[in-house]
Amino acid sequence: MKLNITRRQMLAAGLSIPALAAPEAGFKPLFDGRSLDGWKLVRGRGRGYVVENGVLACPQDGGGNLFTEAEYADFVLRLEWRLWAGGNNGIGIRAPLEGDAAYVGMEIQVLDDNGPMYKDLRPGQYTGSVYDVAPAKRGFVKPNGEWNSYEIAAEKRVIRVTLNGELITDADLSKVADPVVLAKHPGLARTSGHIGLLGHGTRVEFRNLRIKTL
């Protein structure tokens, strides 16, 4: 039998009350916990992305790029993600729908940093990096299977990534001057675009996706 007990009744009975989440002024959800409304799958593989128990999942037999239908310029994006051994995904920002978002837009890496298959990557290919452009500080990813909190802030030419409360990337794109990097990453010049989940055939889960435009 389901009981509906109010907070007032719990207080009267001397019961402890779970803390309410602090409101996040200006943030709007990107994922409703039930459907893929507001998202568009591009070059999907297998099952693409699925909703399971309120979580947005890239299954091992799925993948592709799942983009927001809306475009965003300057914003703060907050979400949680978790992965398992060998997990690999990414958060595309200011990306067009076509092309490799890591280059024609930008990708903020999501990776099993300690996976043996990734031990020889370049510094800019690990979690929190602006992929292959601005390396993130390492050592702040939680063990596989645990939820990590991400905040990605894009304001004009500055991209900041905070992982589990630690600022791990603080990149001023206007200071990227290497002509080889600029030629390889034309997306660094973009000022707006879609946000995407960039799957690579490993299971990665996302929840609590919300955004505030600046």
- Tens digit of pLDDT for each residue in 78-115? 999 999 999 999 999 999 999 999 999 999 999 999 99
pLDDT at 147 over 60: yes
CA 10, 13, 17: angle at the middle one, nearest 5? 35
Give pLDDT tens digits for 30-48.
999 999 999 999 999 999 9
Taking CA atoms, 1 is separated from 4, 16, 201, in Å, by: 10, 21, 42
Residues 6+ apart with CB under 8 A from 159: 93, 106, 108, 130, 134, 152, 153, 169, 171, 173
Q: Residue 214 has what pLDDT?
A: 97
Collapsing DSSP to helix, strand or coil, 7 comes out as helix
Q: What is the DSSP letter of 74?
A: S
63 Cβ contact partners less than 8 Å away, ≥ 6 residues apart: 44, 45, 46, 48, 199, 200, 201
Whether 5 has a pLDDT exceeding 60, the answer reads no
The predicted structure's pLDDT at residue 3: 41
Of how many residues is the chain composed?
214
3-class DSSP state of 164: coil
Burial of 5 (0-12, 13-18, 19+ CB in 10 A): exposed
Considering only 41-45, 150-154, 189-193, which range has the smallest mean pLDDT? 41-45
Per-residue confidence (pLDDT) for residue 200, from 0 to 100: 87
Query: What rounded mean pLDDT belongs to the chain?
Result: 92
CB neighbour burial string for 50-71, b if at least 16 within 10 angstroms, e if fewer = eeeeebbbbbbebbbbbbbeee
Q: Per the structure block, which two tokens stand in for 13?
A: 């009975």
| CA dist., res. 176 & res. 24, Å (int) | 33
Residue that the structure tokens 């390492």 belong to: 138
Pair of tokens at residue 102 = 């890591």
- pTM given for the model: 0.88
Three-class SS of residue 168?
Answer: strand
Q: Report the pLDDT averaged over residues 4-31.
A: 61
Q: Does 176 or 1 have the greater pLDDT score?
A: 176
pLDDT above 60 for 16? no
